[in-house]
Amino acid sequence: MIEVLVGFARCLRHAGMRVPPDRVQAMLAAVDALGVTDPAGVYWAGRLTLCAEPDDIATYDAAFAAYFRQVTPPAPVSASGSVSRIGLPFQLDQVAPRAERDDPEVIEEPAASDIEVLRHRDLTQLTDQERDEVRRLLTLLAPTPAPRPSRRRRPARRGEIDPARTVARILRRVGEPAPPAYRRKSRKPRRLVLLVDVSGSMAAYADALLRFAHAAVRRRPSSTEVFTVGTRLTRVTRALRHRDPDLALAASSRLVPDWSGGTRLGEALKVFLDRWGQRGMARGAVVVLFSDGWERGDPSLLADQMARLARLAHRVVWVNPHKGRPGYVPLVAGMVAALPHLDDFVAGHSFAALERLVEVIARA
C-alpha cells in the first residue's frame, strides 16, 4: 500500500503539484489513521495532507481519478502532458543554457551614445541585437513602491518611549534609573500588483513588459504580484520568481493559455478583484495595468471595475504604449472608460518610458 501511495505522490508531482517528502509522510500517517479500506478515506487523507491551496484541489482530484481507477502502474499523466502545469516545471532543453547566451562574441558592448538612442526607441522596432541589449537593461531596473508605515514597532534611537525595554533596562541595573529606550513604527514595502495585457494588440510589447515584471518580482518577491490579462486572467507570480529571466518567462508563458488572443479587460479585472483584489491583494497596493485599452467586452463593465479598483488601491497606474506616440489621444472605448479612475497615465513604449514608470511607482 505504501508503494501505491508514494506512486500517487509521484503522479501528483508529474501533474505539477509541489509535494515535498514530509507531506507524503503526513499522508501515510493520515491513511493509517483513517484505515485503507475506504476509498473516500484515502481521498481525504491525501487531499488534506498534500494540497496547500485551492488551486491544488482540481489537480489533485484529476490525478486521484486517473491514478486510482486504473490498476496498471502510474505515469500516463505526465506523458500525455494534458494536465496543466502549475508551479515551476522547467524543461531546460527549451531554453539555451546561460553560458551560451552570454557568449561575449554575440553581444558587442554598445557605446554610451548608442544606449541613449536605444533607450528612446520603440520596443517593437528593435533589431535582435538591440532587443538583447534592452533585455539586459531591463534586468537592472528595480521597480519598487515607496514603503508604507507598518503597525509593527522597532527599537530606535528616537521616537516614542518603549516602556517594556525601558523597564527591562532598569531591572538590569537592579532598580537604578536608566535612560529611556525608544521605539518607532517600522516601514514595510507596499504591495505592487502588475496586470499585463498579453492580447494580440499588445503582443509586441508583452515580452518586455513581462521582463519588467520579472525585475519587480526579483526585487521584492513577497510583496509583488503579476497577472496576465487577455480573454482570461492568469497568475504568473510564482513562475516569475525564478532568478533567470529567460527561464522565468518560459515558465510563465507555459501557464498563459491566451497569448495574443482577444481582450476582455473588464471581465478579467472583475475576476482579479473577486478572487484576489478585494480580499486584500489590491488593498493599499500600487496597481499597474499595462494595456492599450482595446476592449472587446462591455466598456461600462470596465468602468465599474476600475472604480472598484480605485476604491481599494493606494494608487492606480495605467501604462499604455501608444501614449508614447506623438499626437496620441485616448479614444479607444476601454481607455475612455478607465481614464477617470486613474492616478497616473503613462507611456510604456520604450526603455526610457519604462524607466519613468519606475519613478512613478517609486513616488506612489
Partner 1 sequence: MTLRTPASPEELSRVLTSAGYLPDTGLATAGFLALRLGRPLFLEGEAGVGKTAFAQALATATGTTLIRLQCYEGLDASQALYDWDFPRQILHLRTIEAAAVASGERVDTEQVEASLYDRRFLIARPLLRALEESPCVLLIDEIDRADDEFEAFLLELLSEAAITVPELGRIAAPTPPVTILTSNRTREVHDALKRRCLYHWVDHPSFEREVEILRTRLPEITERLATEVAQACRALRELDLLKPPGVAEAIDWAGALHALGAQKFDVEKAAATLGAVLKYREDAVRVHAHGLAELIKK
Q: Which residues make up the interface to partner 1 (CB under 8 A)? A: 20, 22-23, 26, 29-30, 33-34, 40-41, 44-45, 47-49, 51-54, 57, 150-153, 163-164, 167-168, 170-171, 174-175, 188, 222, 274, 278-281, 283, 308
Q: Write down the least CB distance from residue 276 to partner 1, Å.
A: 8
Q: How far apart are CA 127 and CA 57, in angstroms?
A: 45
- Of the pair 25, 124, the CB lying nearest partner 1 is at 25
Q: Which is nearer to partner 1, 69 or 151 (CB)?
A: 151
Cα separation values, 160 from 168, 178, 185, 187, 199, Å? 16, 16, 9, 15, 52
How many CA atoms lie within 13 Å of 324's alpha carbon, on the beta-carbon side? 22
d(CA 318, CA 310): 12
Residue 137 CB, shortest distance to partner 1, in Å, is: 30
Q: Is the CB of 8 or the CB of 205 nearer to partner 1?
A: 8
d(CA 45, CA 8): 12
Q: Give dist(CA 69, CA 339) in Å, integer.
A: 54
Q: Which is nearer to partner 1, 51 or 195 (CB)?
A: 51
Shortest CB 184 distance to partner 1, Å: 13
**Alpha carbons 190 and 363: distance in angstroms, whole number:** 12
Alpha helices, DSSP H, located in the chain = 2-14, 21-34, 39-50, 54-69, 76-80, 98-101, 112-120, 128-139, 163-172, 203-219, 237-240, 245-255, 265-272, 299-312, 333-338, 351-363
In angstroms, what is the minimal distance from the CB of 201 to partner 1? 27
Q: With respect to partner 1, which residue has the nearer C-beta, 120 or 152? A: 152
Shortest distance (Å) from residue 236 CB to partner 1? 14
Three-class DSSP category at 188: strand
- Min dist CB 50 to partner 1, Å, is 8
Comparison of 117 and 168: residue with beta carbon closer to partner 1: 168
CB of 13 to partner 1, least distance (A): 15
Task: List residues bridging with 195 in a β-sheet.
Answer: 227, 289
CB of 342 to partner 1, least distance (A): 21
What is the rounded distance in angstroms from the CA atom of residue 60 to the CA atom of residue 342? 40
Q: Cβ closer to partner 1: 34 or 156?
A: 34
**Nearest alpha carbon to residue 43 among 75, 25, 18, 69:** 69
Do 320 and 292 contact (CB within 8 A), yes or no? Answer: yes
Nearest residue (CB) to partner 1, 227 versus 294: 227
Shortest distance in whole angstroms from residue 291 CB to partner 1: 23
- Asked whether 272 and 298 are in contact (CB, 8 A), the reply is no
Task: Yes or no: say if 47 and 74 are a contact pair by the CB < 8 Å rule.
Answer: no
Nearer to partner 1, 29 or 117 (CB): 29
